[in-house]
Structure 1
Amino acid sequence: MNQYYFTLNIPYQTFVAHYSGAASSVLVVTDNGIRIQLPAIRFRPFLSQIGLKGRFRLITDQNNKFVKLEVL
C-alpha cells in the first residue's frame, strides 16, 4: 500500500464550476511534490458549504490503484 498526503483549499463555487462534469479530475500535489490526478467524484463526500478544505490521505495499492481517500 502507498500513502500520499496533501492539503486542499478549494472554495465551493470553484469546485462546482470546474469539477462538476463526469470526466473532470482534480490535480493535487502531495507533500513530497508528487502530482496525482484523481476523479473529482472521489472528493464529493468531503465537499461542504465552504468547499474542500483540509488535510487528506490517499491510499493506493501496489499498482497505484485507488483504495481509499480520507480526510485527516
Structure 2
Amino acid sequence: MPTNRKILAKGIKYLSGALPLLFMGPIVINSSFKNQDSPYYEIVLGVGILLCGLAIFFMFKGVNTIVKSLFDGDKYI
C-alpha cells in the first residue's frame, strides 16, 4: 500500500504551522500573567489562549492527515 505523498506533505505543513504556535502561545500567556495590572490583560490572555488552541488544532489536523496519507489514501480527503 503506497503512501500518498501529496497528502503527507499537507500533513507536514500543518505540523510545521503548529510548531511556532506551540512556543508563542505559552509565551503570550506568561506575559499576560506578568502584567495583570495592565488594561490589556484580558485581551492578551485571550490571544494567548487562542494561539494555544490553534496549536492543538493544527497538531491534531496534521497528525490526522499524515495517518490518512499512510493508511487511507484519497478515500476520505
- TM-score, normalised via structure 1 length: 0.24
Higher strand share: 1
Higher helix share: 2
**Larger Cα-atom Rg:** 2
Does 1 or 2 have the higher relative contact order (CA < 8 Å, sep 6+)?
2
- TM-score, normalised via structure 2 length: 0.23
